[in-house]
Amino acid sequence: MNPQRQPPARGVRRGYAVAGAVLAFMWLGEANEPAWAHAVRAALLLLLIPPVLLRTNRSLTAAFHESAHPRRVLARLIAARILIVSVALVASALLGRVMDPGGGNDLRALGIRELCILLTIPLQIRAAHRARAAGAHPSSRPTLSAPRVICAKLGLIAAALLLQMAIDPYVAEAQVYIAAAIAVTVTVLGPRLHAKLLIAPTPGATEQRSPARATT
């Protein structure tokens, strides 16, 4: 396979390390929240975010690479990412309120999650400009398949739920240990399974190049 069609191995490992941290953070809830509630929250986010986010990200990233004036498109891309994830987090918080009406820290936890999302903006800007400077059009590279990503992550959540239910009677703060296990599992196994989560680029798109590359 053409090396230009695959992201650098270091970038893949870094991406799965970040994904592992995000999934672990998603798993954590109220200290007294049962394991099934963690699983329901995480599953809701996994069902809401990947289908919308991957498609939107693919479309706006292509527009960013093709635009002669990319700043405005990049702003739309980052705003769309933040909006999609934020809406999913709000839905998760509302679901948590329904499952546990007496929970008092949902708003604080939601605020912390939103702050973490906003802190990624400089990293997103840097990564976008580096990718554009590389010149290869996004449509020429394999992309993540939303159904495959959802299935893989739901399998992970199911395993985490079963494990936490097994250790809950014996371990205090079991959800913290399970969150750490999720982070380690995704970081270690994600890069090894990455190729199985990809779909091939659209035929005929491999010859496209961004204006940044075409003018060099």
Q: What share of the chain is helix, strand, coil (3-state, %, to 5)?
A: 75, 5, 20
CA-to-CA dists, residue 126 to 78, 131, 150, 156, 194, angstroms: 12, 9, 27, 30, 23
Spatial distance between the Cα atoms of 45 and 116, rounded to a whole number of angstroms: 16
Per the confidence metrics, is the pTM higher than 0.85? no
State the DSSP code for 75. H
Going by the DSSP 8-state scheme, the letter that residue 141 receives in this structure is: S
- Residue 191: name the closest of 11, 5, 4, 2 by CA: 11
Alpha-carbon distance of 180 to 99, in angstroms, equals 24
Closest CA to 144 of 28, 61, 72, 209: 61
Tens-digit pLDDT string for the chain (216 aa): 444 444 457 778 888 888 888 888 778 765 566 778 778 888 888 888 888 888 888 888 888 888 877 888 899 999 999 999 888 888 887 887 777 666 555 677 778 878 888 888 888 888 888 878 776 666 667 778 888 888 898 899 899 889 988 998 888 888 889 989 999 999 999 999 888 888 766 555 444 444 444 444
